[in-house]
Amino acid sequence: MRIVLLCPSPYSESSCATAVLLSRLGYVPTGALTLPSVERRTLIRKIAQWGVRDVARYAQSKIISRSRMENQLHNPYLQGLLSHGTSIFRNLHEVGSKYGFPVVICKAQNGPDSIAQLSEWSPDLMVFTGGDILRGQLLRIPRLGVINLHLGLLPEIRGMSSPEWSLLTDVPAGVTVHYIDAGIDTGPVLRRCEFPDMANCNSLDDLRNQLIAFGIEKIAEVIAAFGRGTISARAQSELNHDNQYFVIHERLKLLAAQRLQHCQNAAAAVRAHG
C-alpha cells in the first residue's frame, strides 16, 4: 500500500512518530509532504499577535531545544518511537533518511506544486498529521482517501481544543481516526477509542500528549487493518454543525484543568477505597 504523510512542519514530533511507527510496521511511506518550519506570512502574523518579544522567546526556546537539549522531546510519550540508538529523530529528514522515503517541502498543501507531487506519488492512502484545510482536488488524489487523527470523540466533539471541550462537556476523552471530507471533522469514522488512562494525566498538556501517543497507535492499527482489508468506515450519525468547537479561551482552559484535577481526585478516591 502506497502511503503519503501530509505534515505541518519538518519538526513536527507527531509526524515523525507516525512515520517511524508506520515504517517499523512495514508500511514505509512513499513520501512525506510538509509545510516549511518558518513561513514569512505566519511569522508576520505571529509578530502581530504575540509581539516581537514573545516571538523571539518562542524562537529562542526552539533553538535551545534543538542545540542544547538534544534528547528532550516536547511530547515525552513519543520517546519510545523517536529514540534511535543514543539520540532521537529531530525532524522528518532524519526519519526519511533512516527508513528511505523522500521528504518534500511545499508552500501550501493545496498548491499546484503539492498537487503535482502527490499525483506523481500516486498514493493509495494519505495520512494527515497537520497543516492546511484540505481542498477537494487534493482529497481526490488517493485511491482510499485521506485519514486524520482527531483528539476527541466524533461526532460529539468536532473542531479545535477537543480534549479541553471534552472535559467541559462531560464527553469522555478519546481519539477518532476518520476520513477527511469537505467539512470540519465530518468524514466517516474508521476507529473511535475512549482514552482509558485519564486518571494518570496530571495536566492538560499531559493529557494532550498522551492522547497524541495513543492516537498514533490507533492510526497504525487502522493502516494495518487497511492492509488486511478488514476495516470499514461508518458515516457520522449525528451530523450536526452544532457539535463544532473552537479554540478555547485561556479562562475556560483553566476551568477544564480544574475538571481534569477533579477526575484525578475521583480516581484517587476510588483507589483509596478499593
Partner 1 sequence: MNFSQGDSNGDAKMKRIAKAVGETAGLLRGPQRVFPLLRLLAVDRLRLTFGQHHLYSYTATKRQTSETLQSVLQWILDAQRPDGGIAAYFSLLSGYSESYPEVTGYTIPTLYDCSRLLGRQDAAAAAERATRWLLPLQMPSGAFPAGLHGAGSEASVFNTGQILQGLVCAYRETNRPDLRSAAIAAANWLANVQQPDGSWSGPEAYQGVAHSYYSMVSWALAALSEAVDDDRYGLAAERNLDWVLHHFRPSGWIDGINLRGHPNYLHFIAYILQGVLECAVLRNRKDALRAVEKPSRLLLRKFEINKFLPGAYNPDFKSHDRYACLTGNAQMSAVWLRLFQQTDDLRYLNAALKMNEMLKQVLPLRGPKGIAGGVGGSFPLWGAYQPMRYISWGCKFLADALLLEQKLTQPLEACSCA
DSSP assignments along 16-70, one per residue? HHHHHHHHHTT---SEEEE--SS-HHHHHHHHHHH-HHHHHHHHHHHHHHHHT-T
Q: Which of 252, 263, 264, 267 binds partner 1 (CB under 8 A)?
A: 252
**Which of residues 232 and 242 has its CB atom nearest to partner 1 in the complex?**
242
Span from 73-81, 124-132, 223-231, 254-262 in contact with partner 1 (CB under 8 A):
254-262
Span from 43-51, 60-68, 104-112, 116-124 in contact with partner 1 (CB under 8 A):
43-51
3-state secondary structure string across 195-259: CCCHHHCCCHHHHHHHHHHHHHHHHHHHHHHHHHCCCCCECCCCCCHHHEECCCCHHHHHHHHHH
Q: Give phi and psi for 230, each to the nearest 5.
A: -115, 25
The verdict on 259 binding partner 1 (CB under 8 A) reads yes
Q: How many residues bind partner 1 (CB under 8 A)?
A: 22
**Which of residues 36 and 58 has its CB atom nearest to partner 1 in the complex?**
58
Q: Which of 51, 111, 112, 183 binds partner 1 (CB under 8 A)?
A: 51
**Which of residues 110 and 169 has its CB atom nearest to partner 1 in the complex?**
169
Span from 83-91, 115-123, 221-229, 249-257 in contact with partner 1 (CB under 8 A):
249-257
Bridging pattern class, strands 87-88 and 103-105:
unpaired
Nearest-10 Cα torsion for 92, 93, 95, 100: 130
3-state secondary structure of 160: coil
| Selection from 123, 164, 116 nearest residue 146 by Cα | 123
**Which of residues 168 and 201 has its CB atom nearest to partner 1 in the complex?**
168
Q: Which of 1, 38, 43, 44 binds partner 1 (CB under 8 A)?
A: 44
Binding map of partner 1 across residues 159-178, x = CB under 8 A, - = no contact: ---------xx---------
The verdict on 199 binding partner 1 (CB under 8 A) reads no
* Grid coordinates of 141: 488524489
Bridging pattern class, strands 83-84 and 103-105:
unpaired
Q: Give phi and psi for 159, each to the nearest 5.
A: 95, -145
**Which of residues 238 and 242 has its CB atom nearest to partner 1 in the complex?**
242
Interface residues with partner 1 (CB under 8 A)?
Answer: 44-45, 47-51, 168-169, 242, 244-249, 251-252, 254-255, 258-259
